[in-house]
Structure 1
Amino acid sequence: MFGTKLLDRRGRPERIADQAWQHLVSAVSSAGDSVRDTARSARRGGTDLADDASDLVGAAAEEARRRATLAFDALAGRRPALPWTLLISAALVGAAIGWAAGTAARAVGSHSDRSVDDIEFVDVDRPNSPASLDG
């Protein structure tokens, strides 16, 4: 009862100031929550961006290191090593193609409908031939 009489005795400007203060406290509190949420999402997004950037920078640094090593070796007069993996791969592919061609040739040549006995040789004399085979 005493508190209500105190509130009644305050003037109108004091009540308006008190309401404005309550609104300000409420607005600052909700803005703080909003800023905190925004900061969390920005931190998550920033972490993803940082991870992507570090991967990109790491790949670029590795490529730069490889190129620098090759340039240093070239300036020192060293020849690059033979690409053994490429050479072995090419040899294996060539062997596989050769094996496939040989198998296909054997398959075509071994048809049972054509045998060596079926081939006939025909002797042909040419009319204006300088050398005769009969004679």
Structure 2
Amino acid sequence: MFATNLLDRRSKPERVADQAWRHLLTAVSSAGDSVRDTARSARRSGSGIADDAGDLVGSAADEARRRAARAVDALAGRRPALPWTLLIGAALVGAAVGWAAGTAARAAGSHDRAADDIEFVDVDRPNSPVGLDG
């Protein structure tokens, strides 16, 4: 009873502020419960989606760090390093293609030599048309 008398004697702005505070606490509490329920259901149904989103965010953060480092290097006047892995990979692919082309050319050349080894023989035919035998 003593507390209610004190609450009644407060000014109107104090009472409005107290009421607003209670509404805010209720709203935050219900929102927290709602968020918890939503998080539980999302965790149950969308764990794969969350993993994919986490991977996407992680890769985006890595890309952002890379770009920021490149921007700092560019502003400092440093040139980007050569992509040695890409250059070595391209050289290996080129060597493999060259080796394959050389092997194919040698194989094609060996077939031409076999055609040169064929001998053609003239045969006299007894009933050949005039002028072809001789």
Give me the TM-score of the superposition, normalised by structure 1.
0.48
Structure having the higher Rg: 1
Give me the TM-score of the superposition, normalised by structure 2.
0.48
